[in-house]
Each structure stands twice: as structure tokens, then as C-alpha cells.
């Protein structure tokens, strides 16, 4: 069986790692992949956003399954293009991917279905948005409608900051087309949790919960990043919580999409805020999270290929998402300076020693092979991951591996999973 994974980050290496263990022993291709995926399959030098390039490769190589990792190709319709040519693709069609591609569309689905979410107003006119934020109660959240590489959400402590945020998006057009429409949202307080589900067009089956760490520095300080680490399970995950999330969020979302004639197939990721009134939706993503996937897939009991095929065929079962009781912790090591300017091309030492340890995985993100060496090539470089009995023990194990890996100016947070660990102790 031939599988193409589209993407080249930590998420895609984790997918390749899980697929490489599948009893079907697939031959893996990754476009474009990284130094980690190169150890498990063949990297194909096609950028994930190059939809024509991926489709042309599929025509030549005829993969049995294509798994689309990032949001950009999904929102641009890669799944539709592949399916139109008779190829099986895991991931939502363009219309369904708008849940991530347009925050205005996502909010309209949430509101129409009566799903708990922040109150929000949509604006296409800067003057009207400015007048609104001057009169509204702070804090406020200003969101660019379209994809903005994780930078399009601005948390504003007061009206002045909110006016600046509106100007950034609509007048200075710092997010390009993505900021032509904006949402101005009520600020929700609470703890965040990522709930991902496999979806087969009809129903959703929840994967284990995970918690991301978005800020660059310990104690949730510093700038927002793509994610500095994740762990699973998140402390709020109980059977009741899962039922509430399924009944009040995932099922009504799919029902509302169906009402609009849209079929969702793939992974649906709901970023939730645990408020005093229960979980509310902050955002939807139309794909696996990064780094959440690195902390979720090692906990998945069964093989991924049958689960993905069931999503495509419309016969998903709860068993497809069954998980192991162990905890999983992923600590992201970044290049110094990330998410600002950072170095590239530094040699990474200690990977062989780390690979020899049991129940730990080093998922590559921004790495590449250069002159026989593995070197840094992105902001998020590695996701050092461990499985273990308790969260505390697992985090310790992950940090022992982190300590063995070195590259120039490496940075990582020292408090990944700390919130979960302190909760499980009390």
C-alpha cells in the first residue's frame, strides 16, 4: 500500500511514525517531509501548498491514500482535486475546510446550531468596526477572517488596543486578504483544551484530549507560537466532559454542515475554552493539531489506516479512536529567537542516543539532511515525546531526552504538562 503524507512538520512525522507501525506496512511518501520522515519513507520535493504539484505526483505514482496534514492545501481544495481524479484522500473538502479557512463562516455555523461560543460581531467596514470597539466592553478579541498563519487573532485589553487591532487588519492590511473581514469577539476566560475527532461524513468519534502551550516562555509568558508542547490527556477530560463536547459541539456542528449540504470527512479539531458555564468553542481547525498530534497518536491503540479508511468509507466505529491509558508529553525544542528571527543550518547532536531509549520518540519538525548531518531548518525543530504511566513520570522522561539533544541556541519550555501534573496531584 502506497501512502502520501502532505506536509513537513512534527505532525506529519508523527503521522508517518504511526503509519510505519501499521500491520499493512505501507510504503510512505512525504511531500515535502523533513529529516525525520526521510527515515521512515521517501521525501518528495513538493511544497504542501503546491496543489498542482501534488496532483501531478498522484497521477504518476497512484497512491492508495493521501493524508493532507496542513490547513492551506485543505482550504485550497486539495482533497476535492484528488477525489475528482479518483484518488482516496483523508481530509475535508474545500467547503468543509472553511470551518478553519473562514472564522466568519465558522461563527455562522456555531451560531446557527446554537453551539456555545464567544459572542461576536462581523465587520467588513473599518469605520463601523472602530465605532463598535470604542463602545464595547473590553477586553475584546479581534480576529482576521481568513488564514493568517496563526497570527490573525489579537487579544485587546482595552478599546485603544482594539482600535489598533482593527487598523492592523483592515486599514494596514497586515494579514492581506485574510483581514478584509474581521470578527470582534467577547474575551472568554478559562483553561484551553484541544478536542480532536475523527469524522466520517455522518458522525464524529473523539480522540483523546490534549492541551497545547501556545506562548514561547514558561508560565504562558512571551509571544504566541505555533505551539511549544502538548500533553494528553488534558486535566478536564472525564467521561462527562467527552459526552458534553460530543453532544453540544461536534454533533450539532456536523448536523448544521449537513443542513448546508456540506459533508465533513477527516479530522475536526475544536479549540475549546473551559469557562465557568462549560466548554465554549474558540476556533475550529480542519486537520490534526500540531503539536497535539505528537501527544495523541502514541496513545492510539489501533492502527491508523483502518481508522482513516473508515472516515473515507463512512463506517467509523468508536474502536477506531480507542486509546491506551498511558499519558503522553511532547516538549517542542525550537531555534533560539523563535517565533521571531532565528538561525538555520545548525547541526543537531544526540539524536541517535535519544532514538535508542524506549517509550520515547523524537518527532522532527524543522530539520533537514545536509551533507549527511541533520541540521535545523525551521523555528520549531523537534518534538521530544514520551509515553508513561503518570503525567509527572512522563514529563520527566521527555525532559531527560531533551537534555541529551543539543544544537546552537536551542530553546524549550520547562513547564510542559505542569498544569496537568499539579491538577492530578490534588
**Per-residue contact string for residues 169-188; x = within reach of ligand AMP by CB under 6 A:** ----------------x-xx
Q: Toward ligand GLY, which CB reaches closer, 212 or 237?
A: 212
Q: Which does 153 bind (CB under 5 to 8 A by kind): ligand GLY, ligand AMP, none?
A: ligand AMP
423: CB partners within 8 A, 6+ apart:
235
Query: SS3 of 27, please?
Result: strand
Give, in degrees to the nearest 5, the angle at Cα 17 between 16 and 22: 90
Query: SS3 of 35, please?
Result: coil
Q: Which does 192 bind (CB under 5 to 8 A by kind): ligand GLY, ligand AMP, none?
A: ligand AMP
Identify the residue whose cell numbers are 479539531: 269
C-alpha 407/C-alpha 419 separation (Å) is: 28
Closest to 325 measured CA to CA, from 246, 232, 197, 419:
232
- Out of 237, 290, 309, 346, which residue is the one contacting ligand GLY (CB under 6 A)? 290
Q: Which does 145 bind (CB under 5 to 8 A by kind): ligand AMP, ligand GLY, none?
A: none
> Which residue has its beta carbon closest to ligand GLY?
289
Q: Which does 187 bind (CB under 5 to 8 A by kind): ligand AMP, ligand GLY, none?
A: ligand AMP
Q: Toward ligand AMP, which CB reaches closer, 16 or 178?
A: 178
Q: Toward ligand GLY, which CB reaches closer, 130 or 297?
A: 297
- Binding part of the chain for ligand GLY, among 27-35, 45-53, 284-292, 314-322 by CB under 6 A, reads 284-292
Residue 230 sits at φ, ψ, to 5 deg, of -150, 160
**Is residue 283 close enough to count as binding ligand AMP by CB under 6 A?**
yes
Query: SS3 of 109, please?
Result: helix
**Is residue 227 close enough to count as binding ligand GLY by CB under 6 A?**
yes
Closest to 190 measured CA to CA, from 301, 271, 90, 87:
271
Give, in degrees to the nearest 5, the angle at Cα 424 between 421 and 425: 85
Cell of 237: 477530560
Cell of 186: 467577547
**Is residue 153 close enough to count as binding ligand AMP by CB under 6 A?**
yes
**Is residue 136 close enough to count as binding ligand AMP by CB under 6 A?**
no
- Do 362 and 413 meet the contact criterion of CB atoms below 8 Å apart? no
Cis before 32 (ω within 30): yes
Q: Toward ligand GLY, which CB reaches closer, 121 or 415?
A: 415
Q: Toward ligand GLY, which CB reaches closer, 63 or 289?
A: 289
152: CB partners within 8 A, 6+ apart:
103, 143, 144, 146, 169, 175, 178, 179
- Out of 12, 80, 185, 212, which residue is the one contacting ligand GLY (CB under 6 A)? 212
- Out of 289, 298, 383, 420, which residue is the one contacting ligand GLY (CB under 6 A)? 289
**Is residue 278 close enough to count as binding ligand AMP by CB under 6 A?**
no
Rounded to the nearest whole angstrom, what is the least distance from the CB of residue 212 to ligand GLY in the complex? Answer: 4
Identify the residue whose cell numbers are 516538549: 331
| Terminal-residue alpha carbon distance, the chain | 48
347: CB partners within 8 A, 6+ apart:
373, 374, 375, 407
Give the distance, in angstroms, between the CA of residue 112 and the centroid of all CA atoms in the same chain.
Answer: 25
Q: Toward ligand GLY, which CB reaches closer, 100 or 326?
A: 100
Cell of 323: 486509546
- Do 11 and 210 meet the contact criterion of CB atoms below 8 Å apart? no
**Is residue 140 close enough to count as binding ligand AMP by CB under 6 A?**
no
Q: Which does 285 bind (CB under 5 to 8 A by kind): ligand GLY, ligand AMP, none?
A: ligand GLY
- Out of 285, 360, 376, 377, which residue is the one contacting ligand GLY (CB under 6 A)? 285
Q: Which does 100 bind (CB under 5 to 8 A by kind): ligand GLY, ligand AMP, none?
A: none
Q: Toward ligand AMP, which CB reaches closer, 53 or 139?
A: 139
Residues that bind ligand GLY (CB under 6 A): 212, 227, 285, 289-290, 292
Residues that bind ligand AMP (CB under 6 A): 118, 141, 143, 153, 155, 185, 187-188, 192, 214, 271, 282-283
Amino acid at each position: 500500500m502506497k501512502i502520501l503524507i502532505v506536509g513537513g512538520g512534527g505532525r506529519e512525522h508523527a503521522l508517518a511514525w504511526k503509519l510505519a507501525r501499521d500491520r499493512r506496512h505501507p510504503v510512505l511518501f512525504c511531500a515535502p517531509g523533513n529529516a525525520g520522515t526521510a527515515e521512515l519513507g521517501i521525501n518528495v520535493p513538493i511544497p504542501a501548498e503546491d496543489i498542482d504539484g501534488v496532483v501531478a505526483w498522484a497521477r504518476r505514482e497512484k497512491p492508495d491514500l493521501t493524508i493532507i496534514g496542513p490547513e492551506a492545501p485543505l482550504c485550497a481544495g486539495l482533497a476535492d482535486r484528488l477525489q475528482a481524479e479518483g484518488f482516496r484522500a483523508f481530509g475535508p473538502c474545500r467547503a468543509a475546510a472553511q470551518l478553519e479557512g473562514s472564522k466568519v463562516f465558522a461563527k455562522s455555523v456555531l451560531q446557527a446550531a446554537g453551539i456555545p461560543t464567544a459572542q461576536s460581531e462581523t465587520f467588513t467596514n473599518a469605520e463601523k468596526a472602530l465605532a463598535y470597539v470604542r463602545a464595547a466592553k473590553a477586553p475584546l478579541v479581534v480576529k482576521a477572517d481568513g488564514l493568517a498563519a496563526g497570527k490573525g487573532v489579537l487579544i485587546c485589553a482595552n478599546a485603544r488596543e482594539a482600535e489598533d487591532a482593527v487598523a492592523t487588519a483592515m486599514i494596514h492590511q497586515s494579514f492581506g486578504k485574510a483581514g478584509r473581514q474581521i470578527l470582534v469577539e467577547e474575551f472568554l476566560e478559562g483553561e484551553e483544551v484541544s478536542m480532536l475527532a475523527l469524522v466520517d461524513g455522518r458522525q464524529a468519534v473523539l480522540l483523546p484530549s490534549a492541551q497545547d502551550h501556545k506562548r514561547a516562555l514558561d508560565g504562558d509568558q512571551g509571544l504566541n507560537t505555533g505551539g511549544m508542547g502538548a500533553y494528553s490527556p488534558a486535566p478536564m477530560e472525564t467521561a462527562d466532559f467527552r459526552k458534553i463536547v460530543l453532544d453540544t459541539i461536534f454533533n450539532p456542528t456536523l448536523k448544521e454542515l449537513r443542513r448546508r449540504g456540506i459533508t465533513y470527512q477527516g479530522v475536526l479539531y475544536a479549540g475549546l475554552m473551559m469557562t465557568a458555564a462549560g466548554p465554549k468553542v474558540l476556533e475550529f481547525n480542519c486537520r490534526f493539531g500540531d503539536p497535539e498530534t505528537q501527544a495523541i497518536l502514541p496513545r492510539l491503540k489501533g492502527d491508523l489506516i483502518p481508522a482513516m479508511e473508515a472516515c473515507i468509507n463512512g463506517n467509523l466505529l468508536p474502536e477506531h479512536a480507542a486509546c491506551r491509558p498511558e499519558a503522553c508529553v511532547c516538549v517542542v525544542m525550537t531555534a533560539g529567537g523563535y517565533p521571531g528571527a532565528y538561525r538555520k543550518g545548525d547541526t543537531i547532536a544526540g539524536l541517535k542516543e535519544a532514538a535508542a531509549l524506549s517509550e520515547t520518540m523524537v518527532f522532527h519538525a524543522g530539520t533537514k539532511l545536509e551533507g549527511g548531518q541533520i541540521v535545523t531548518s525551521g523555528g520549531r525543530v523537534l518534538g521530544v515525546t514520551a509515553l508513561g504511566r503518570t503525567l509527572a513520570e512522563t514529563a520527566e522522561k521527555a525532559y531527560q531526552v531533551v537534555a541529551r539533544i543539543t544544537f546552537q541556541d536551542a530553546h524549550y519550555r520547562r513547564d510542559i504538562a505542569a498544569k496537568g501534573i499539579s491538577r492530578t496531584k490534588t
